[in-house]
């Protein structure tokens, strides 16, 4: 069968989506627009799954005329704020040669356009399609993943998935993320007699500068992930010469697959004991929490996709591991669905003058179509 780049449709959808400011928390307008487009295209099932207030997931399905596997196509509706320093209006798409500029052009309205283009092609060729396409588009990926969490809690089933994140070199695994809340409790005393108290701020400072002593676990594809202090707070609210008896901090720790919550907390507690710190330290995990994950590359779906990628791109598919977290860190461990990140390429990710390559989007259209119709 003849596969289609769907150039005009893809560009039109991308431009429509870029004009909508869909910063995290403000996804309802873009959600309603995509919902209308999917209904117009003629999907077999579609619903809005409530997340919170007027935010919702879009769940849709295209059923092939023949039995086969279910392929999940997923992505997020939100973007980070536009910020300053743009050479163009971030919500007016500008095409310069192969590049389309605008907030979310790369991350990830290009991915949504690729998904919608694939859906359009699948509906037009349902008589040749085996299995289903399950579409799941969610809010809040750029924050705490409320959308994907809601999706997981309402049960989702698929044989394989592609997240249309802007990853031209596909991601098959990623670090996880812990946010560790540390409380240090000392003892008050007059500031002129500090030895009679236990200064919680000083104890916390000693602890934080020693975090580098904790051994970091290794992974064959991911470099060691350090501890990063994000916030520290303690002392008086109103001036007083009192030795502070309380201090807290937030520590970020990206994790490799062998670093568990239990391991991290045990190592921190051991550090406190080995240093002989006098304050009482309490550790707990705050949200958001993301597990590390990795997908096996010898899966038949991955092997099939590798062959298609080489045929379209002209070179073998390479794999890499993400150094940040995304909705896949929630989705893959919770459901067991092998989901890879594969999408367009571009630049300015989470920065000014964000852009996406149209050529890469058209290539992804073909790759997605060929995969769906490879069964």
Look at strands 160-163 and 66-76 and give their pairing: parallel
Tell me the CA end-to-end span of the chain in Å, nearest whole number. Answer: 13
Residue 112 CB contacts under 8 Å (≥ 6 apart), including other chains: 13, 17, 34, 75, 77, 137, 164
**What is the rounded CA–CA span in Å between residue 188 and residue 207?**
19
Residue 213 DSSP one-character state: G
Mean pLDDT of 9-25: 98
- In order of 48, 55, 77, the CA distances from 45 in angstroms are 11, 19, 19
- Give mean pLDDT, residues 210-225: 93
User: Is residue 1 scored above 90 in pLDDT?
Assistant: no
Residues 6+ apart with CB under 8 A from 44: 61, 62, 63
The number of residues in the chain equals 375
Tell me which long-range contacts 355-358 makes (C-beta under 8 A, separation of at least 24). 355/99, 355/100, 355/101, 355/102, 355/105, 355/106, 356/14, 356/99, 356/100, 356/105, 356/106, 356/110, 356/166, 357/98, 357/99, 358/7, 358/10, 358/11, 358/95, 358/98, 358/99, 358/100
Residue 204's DSSP bridge partners are none
> Is residue 100's pLDDT more than 90?
yes
Average pLDDT of 318-328?
94
- Predicted pLDDT at 269: 98
Domains annotated for the chain, with CATH where assigned, are 7-174+293-372 (3.40.630.10), 176-290 (3.30.70.360)
DSSP, res 86: -
Q: How many CB atoms lie within 10 A of CB 66?
A: 12
Confidence band, pLDDT 50/70/90 cuts, at residue 218? confident
Given a cut of 90, is residue 275 above it in pLDDT? yes
Cis peptide before 288 (omega within 30 of 0): yes
Give the DSSP H or E segment for 263.
helix 261-275
Mean pLDDT of 131-146: 98
Mean pLDDT across the chain: 97
pLDDT at 279 over 90: yes
pLDDT at residue 118 tops 90: yes
pLDDT at 146 exceeding the cut of 90: yes
pLDDT for the residue numbered 338: 98
Which pLDDT does position 258 carry in this prediction? 87
> Where do the H-state alpha helices sit in 276-321?
300-313
Is 357 within 8 Å of 346 (Cβ atoms)?
yes
Buried b (16+ CB within 10 A) or exposed e, 317-333: bebebbeebbbbbbbbe
Residue 164 scores a pLDDT above 90? yes
Rounded Cα–Cα distance for residues 291 and 172 (Å)? 14
Report the alpha-carbon distance of residue 279 to residue 365 in Å, rounded. Answer: 58
Question: What DSSP state is assigned to residue 191?
Answer: T
CA atoms within 13 A on the CB side of 164: 34
**Distances in whole angstroms, Cα of residue 122 to Cα of each of 41, 117, 129, 131:** 10, 9, 7, 11
Q: What is the pTM of this model?
A: 0.93
Averaged pLDDT for residues 285-304: 96
Q: What is the pLDDT of residue 217?
A: 92
């Amino acid at each position: 069968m003849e596969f289609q780049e769907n150039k005009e449709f893809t560009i039109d959808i991308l431009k429509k989506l870029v004009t909508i400011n869909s910063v995290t928390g403000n996804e309802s307008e873009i959600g309603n627009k995509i919902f209308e487009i999917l209904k117009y295209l003629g999907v077999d099932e579609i619903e809005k799954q409530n997340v919170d207030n007027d935010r919702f997931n879009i769940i849709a399905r295209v059923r092939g005329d023949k039995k086969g596997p279910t392929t999940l196509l997923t992505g997020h509706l939100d973007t980070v704020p536009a910020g300053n320093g743009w050479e163009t209006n971030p919500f007016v798409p500008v095409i310069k040669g192969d590049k389309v500029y605008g907030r979310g052009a790369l991350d990830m309205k290009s991915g949504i356009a690729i998904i919608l283009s694939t859906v359009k092609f699948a509906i037009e060729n349902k008589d040749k399609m085996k299995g289903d396409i399950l579409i799941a588009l969610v809010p809040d990926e750029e924050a705490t993943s409320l959308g994907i969490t809601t999706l997981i809690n309402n049960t989702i089933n698929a044989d394989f998935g592609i997240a249309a994140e802007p990853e031209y070199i596909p991601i098959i695994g990623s670090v996880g993320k812990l946010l560790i809340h540390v409380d240090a409790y000392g003892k008050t005393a007059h500031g002129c007699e500090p030895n009679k108290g236990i200064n919680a701020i000083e104890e916390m400072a000693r602890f934080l500068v020693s975090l580098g002593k904790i051994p970091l676990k290794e992974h064959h594809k991911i470099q060691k992930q350090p501890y990063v202090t994000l916030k520290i707070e303690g002392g008086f609210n109103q001036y007083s010469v009192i030795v502070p008896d309380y201090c807290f901090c937030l520590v970020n720790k990206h994790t490799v697959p062998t670093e568990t919550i239990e391991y991290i907390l045990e190592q921190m507690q051991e550090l406190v004991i080995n240093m002989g710190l006098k304050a009482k330290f309490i550790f707990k995990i705050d949200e958001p929490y993301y597990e590390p994950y990795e997908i096996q590359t010898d899966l038949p779906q991955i092997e099939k996709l590798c062959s298609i990628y080489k045929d379209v791109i002209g070179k073998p598919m390479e794999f890499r591991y993400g150094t940040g977290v995304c909705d896949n860190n929630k989705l893959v461990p919770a459901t067991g669905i092998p989901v890879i990140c594969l999408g367009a390429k571009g630049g300015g990710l989470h920065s000014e003058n964000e852009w996406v390559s149209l050529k890469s989007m058209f290539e992804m259209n073909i790759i997605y179509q060929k995969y769906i119709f490879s069964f």
